[in-house]
Structure formats: C-alpha cells, structure tokens
Amino acid sequence: MDLYNYNKTMYKPLPAYISIGPSDIDGVGLFVVEDIPAEVVIGITHVYDHDFEDDYIRTPLGGFLNQSDNPNCKLIDEDEYKRLIAIKHIDAGTELTVNHPICKTS
C-alpha cells in the first residue's frame, strides 16, 4: 500500500493500516496494522465547530487517540481541521499516541 498517497483518496473512518484495540494507556486506542514511515499524514482527527465540547468534533481517528509523554505522532492545525502525522517510524502493533491537551486521558 502506498501510505504517502493513501489519504488523498475518499474519506474513510479509519485508514486500512490502523485498527482499534485495548490500550494500556486508557480503555481503547489506535494500533498500527503495518509499519508507518515518519512524516506520513495519517488523517483528520478533529473538525472545528464551536458548538461542540472543546470546540471540535472528533473523527474516529481523534476519538480513539490516546495521549502520551513519549508520542509517536503529532497534531497539526490546518484551517478547520487537525491532522495526525507520524513523527517517527512506527512499527506494526504499536499504539498511536500524541502529546496534546485535546487528547486528554481520563
């Protein structure tokens, strides 16, 4: 699969290379099914809307994303969206994490 061009196609709730599973961080989380190289744009996590909690609607990608002090991804603000980007190579089986206040664990 061409991970660099995957997200330039039609919207899907989760990319094919991401799955939801039990998390040691908080409840459930997002896990990599196949390796992701650094700098890959994984997808949209949040859409701005001032009528929602924290001013954002979470997509499935944002709804299951957990926070970590040692993240492997970052959120980038783009106009009305937040996008998830890998900040380093992520091996299959690894949970996707960010260090961002919008992804607070309970």
1-10, 22-31, 63-72: lowest mean pLDDT where?
A: 1-10
Predicted confidence (pLDDT) per residue in 44-72, tens digit: 999 999 898 778 899 989 989 999 999 99
List, in order of start, the domains of the chain with CATH numbers.
3-103 (2.170.270.10)
* 35: CB partners within 8 A, 6+ apart: 89, 90, 91, 92
Q: Is the pTM of this model over 0.85?
A: no
pLDDT at residue 43, rounded to an integer = 92
Is pLDDT of 100 > 80?
A: no
Q: Provide the mean pLDDT of the chain.
A: 86
Average pLDDT over residues 12-30: 91
